Structure 1
Amino acid sequence: MTSSTGRSLVELIDGTDGRGLAAAGLACLDRCLPLLAPDRAEVLRPVWAAIARADAAAWAEAVGKARVELDGAGGEAAGDGGVVTMVRAMADGMPAEWAEGPLRAWAERCSTVALTVHRLYDVGEEGPLHSGELRRQLAVLDAVAHGPTGLRRARELSVEGGRVLRAVVSRRARTA
């Protein structure tokens, strides 16, 4: 699957600047956050604000606060197939340093983990949940390519994706 510009997910990540990388990684984490901390939906809002400002000090502070607020979240999840552990690793891996190298590595890991998580909850290898996550990742990268104005769209896509994943997990729990 490719973006509206005809580029693959890997190509888009490779060509993205620091702000776009931070947004891409955070969007993946934001969509998967309900699995780790379903009652803490707004914990990443200050991190989004720091991305909008592209301010290294604000980013480091917001990341530090988010880590503290998420500390211990998801500890009660046993038998989840390691999903909570994967999402926890995305949160713990948020780089405090606002630099393209660490942000790129984190965004790539978050992309892979988010696609894996969605595949685990899907009906098949390339089912609708996985395909939807891939589309959202492409759309986020397309949106943030337009600068700070695309961050609102990236956040909207993350909220939507989080709702979808939360609904799938809830439905699965009811039928188990």
Structure 2
Amino acid sequence: MSLLERIAEADERGLAASALACLERCLPPVADGGGESEPLRPLWASCEDGREWAARLTAARAAMTDTDGTGVDETASPVREMLLAAPSDWAAEPLREWARTCSLLSLEFHRRFDMPVLGEAGGDAGEDPAGRLRRWSSGDTRCAGPLVAGELRRQTEILETLAEAADPAGGASGLRGALDRSTEGRRVLRAVMSRRARGRA
């Protein structure tokens, strides 16, 4: 089953959690290296049943506007835009559209730091970038580099984990598993970003 098919079948919890996981991986590291900024983490607490979703979303938006050096810097503007676009209503269809958009944002973010792939300069050079991202999400991964391929797999695994733990008894463990996968993905991406930065120095 492709990533887009997984998103099409997900419930509210899966959609919200997968979208948040995508956005967290797009957050830049804290500039001073003094720890992790976690402006989105309070929203995870609402993913189980939507309780306090609107209030926590408002708080996350406020946290993401802090650009005075103590919060998230200006490179996180795409994440802020996605938070502003997030639905305040805990309902499947608006959450589904938001999850699709967050998924594409994360894929594009990973593509920017990926290794060059032959097809990018060859067979699909004339392909619309947005179309390429949608093609990858649909299961056609031609010309997808290792970072993008890993991100596609990670997003799919997160949705699978949440779907398998859909009952109330397994809900909390499902969210923990999704968060663990997302955190590991963020470590991988930041390690690549760090190596790229050192190579330019």
Question: Normalising to structure 2: TM-score of the pair?
Answer: 0.73
1:55 CA drift (Å) = 2.8
Partner in structure 2 of residue 173 of structure 1 = 197
Q: Distance in 1 between matches of 2:95 and 2:187?
A: 25
Return the letter of the residue paired with 1:158: S
Instruction: From 38, 45, 50, give the equivalent of 1:55.
Output: 50
Which stretches of structure 1, 4 residues or longer, exceed 4 Å deviation after superposition? 35-40
State how far apart, in whole Å, the 2-side matches of 1:18 and 1:35 are: 29
| 1:12 alignment partner, SS class | helix
Stretch moving more, 159-168 or 109-118: 159-168
2:13–2:50 Cα contact (<8 Å) kept:
no
Q: How far off its partner does 1:33 sit?
A: 1.7
1:74 aligns with 2:68: no
2:130 is equivalent to residue 131 of structure 1: no
* Distance change in 2, residues 1:88/1:121 (3 Å): farther
Identity %: 47
2:11 is the counterpart of 1:17: yes
| Aligned residues of 1:47 and 1:63 also touching (Cα < 8 A) | yes
Bigger relative contact order (CA 8 A; separation at least 6): 1
Cα distance in 2 for partners of 1:156, 1:134 equals 16
Q: Where do 5+ consecutive residues of structure 1 fail to align?
A: 1-6, 78-83
Q: Secondary structure at the match of 2:38?
A: coil
Letter in 1 for 2:177: R
TM-score normalised by length of structure 1: 0.83
Q: 2:109 aligns with which of 105, 114, 117?
A: 117
Task: Supply the distance in 2 between the matched residues of 1:162 and 1:150 (Cα, whole angstroms).
Answer: 19
Equivalenced residues, count: 161
Higher helix fraction: Structure 1 or Structure 2?
1
Contiguous gaps of at least 5 residues in structure 2: 118-143
